Structure formats: C-alpha cells, structure tokens
Amino acid sequence: MKTIKTLFGGLFVAMALSATYAIAQDFPNKPIRIVVPYSPGGGTDAVARIMAQRLTATLGQSVLVENKPGASANIGSEFVARAPADGYTLGMITVEISMMHWAGLTDLKPTNYTPLALMNIDPAAVTVRADSPYKTVNDLLAAIKANPGKFKASGTGQGGIWHLALAGMLKDQKMELSAAPWVPSNGAAPAMNDLAAGGIEFVTCSLPESRALIDAGKARPLTIMANQPSGLYPNVPTLKTATGSNWAIGAWRGIAGPQGLPADVQAKLGA
C-alpha cells in the first residue's frame, strides 16, 4: 500500500509540474486584465493604460484595464489577491497596500501578491482652484491655521497616501489633522473634479494627476512635497523651499499578480 501511495503521489506531483510547465510555456493564450483599484483618469489608471498598451504589443495578446474602485482601494486590491494565480489577472498595486493594514482597513499586505515590476513614484503636491485667493502654500497654511476645520481637502480614500501627505504637512506646521478635514474619494481624478466644482478647497495628489485641470487653467499648483522641483512644473516650489519643512512624501505604483504565480509566468511578465 505504501508503494502504491508513493507511486501515485509521485505521479500526481509529476503531472502537476508538467501541467504548470505547459501553462507557462503557452502563456499567454488569452487576454490579460490589469485591475486598477481607483477610478479612471487618475495617475494609477494612467500608468496602467500605458503599460497595457505596451504589454499588448509585446505579448501578442490583448491586455485590458479594468477599474474596480472603492473602500480606499481595497475592493480592487482584494480582487487581485483572490484571483487565480495564472497570470491572467494582474493589478496595479500602490503604496497603500503597505499602509492600510496598519489602520485596520484591510488584512491585505504585500505578501498577498507576487511583485512583477515597480512602475513609477510621484511626489505629493498641493493644488488649489485657479480662482483661489491663496497664491502660495504659506498663504493657504496661514488661512487653515486661522480657520481650523473650514478648509476641506481630498485626493484619495481615507488613510491613503495623499491623506498621509496632508497629515504630515499639517503636523510639521504644528496643526492638528482636524484643521483641514479630509473628504474621501475614489482617487485623484474625482478629487480634482470636486475641486473644480468648489466642493473642496485643495487637493494633495501628485502633479501629473492634476495636470489636466492645471493645463486647462482651472487649477493652480502651490508646492510639491519632494526634495527637488518637478520636471513637469519646474517653477512650482518644493515644500522645503516655500516653508522650510523637510516633509516629503510620494506614491509608488507597481504591477503584481496574486501570490504564487508560476516562476515562468513571473519571468515572462517581469521581463
């Protein structure tokens, strides 16, 4: 009986390895989707669509972007983590996946994914409407300090990276986080639309995410929370230059699959 069990056990393992190898060798033989845990139009969505276009040309299969926003990016992120580990469901994984579990917003951690590539890093910025009376970040900070609770901000979900950017800036200026209430959104694009509509006073997302409204003359950037100015808007001062603050922060974005992607699939997608 032991010999039969050993034989069948070995046969099962061999068949499984053979099937995995065959899948990897044949990969991809159908469309791939990249899940974005934010609304269309934001920075993460833009990066995903650029990569989908490039991957389609490289892999010879359609690579489609699917937006699954909500719950501070946890809906889309969980969808990717729970997907079959076959390489056909990938996700844009952002810095929030290393943050949210500390706030008790999710059980997801980086270990729930197979990392494939880091895509980019964007520093936070502060952007107001074009008709805002605040011409500099110092003007805005002084107004917030004089009127705590009056000025609302947004840029992403509760506890997300752009919320953390605001928190650090306020703390560095000796203000409570409640001085500028946060209005959660499903990403930078909805937040910028809310800014243009007058629902909030400023946004702390990255400059590429606010670029459309800045270039349209509907928004004005005041500062960037980085060690050096942006190549996109070199005249926008850093927070250190404007206020003397050393607070700098940004969002990284990468592409990952569910935990346990086969090694050959990892190698092909990673390349």
State residue 24's pLDDT score.
Answer: 55
105 pLDDT band (50/70/90 cuts)? confident
d(CA 243, CA 170): 12
Instruction: Tell me which amino acid residue 81 is.
Output: A
3-state secondary structure 8-24: HHHHHHHHHHHHHHHHH
Is the pLDDT assigned to residue 21 strictly greater than 70?
no
- Are residues 224 and 230 in contact, defined by beta-carbon separation less than 8 angstroms? yes
106 pLDDT band (50/70/90 cuts)? confident
Please report, rounded to a whole number, the percentage of residues in the chain having pLDDT higher than 90: 77
- Average pLDDT, integer, range 197-215: 96
- Are residues 125 and 223 in contact, defined by beta-carbon separation less than 8 angstroms? yes
Q: What's the predicted TM-score (pTM) here?
A: 0.77
d(CA 68, CA 108): 16
Cα–Cα separations (whole angstroms), residue 218 to 38, 132, 192, 231: 23, 10, 10, 20
State residue 7's pLDDT score.
Answer: 45
- Average pLDDT, integer, range 205-230: 96
d(CA 241, CA 179): 23
d(CA 99, CA 125): 20
The edge-to-edge listing of strands for the beta sheet with 250-258 is: 63-67, 32-36, 89-94, 250-258, 113-123
- In tens, the pLDDT along 52-68 reads 999 999 999 999 999 99
The two tokens of residue 25 are 């060798």
Is the pLDDT assigned to residue 11 strictly greater than 60?
no
Please count the CA atoms within 13 angstroms of the CA of 271 that sit on its side-chain side: 7
Please return the burial class of 119, using the count of CB atoms within 10 Å of its CB with bins 0-12, 13-18 and 19+: middle
Taking every pair of Cα atoms in the chain, the longest distance, rounded to a whole number of angstroms, is 84
State residue 41's pLDDT score.
Answer: 85
The two tokens of residue 95 are 């810095």
73 pLDDT band (50/70/90 cuts)? confident
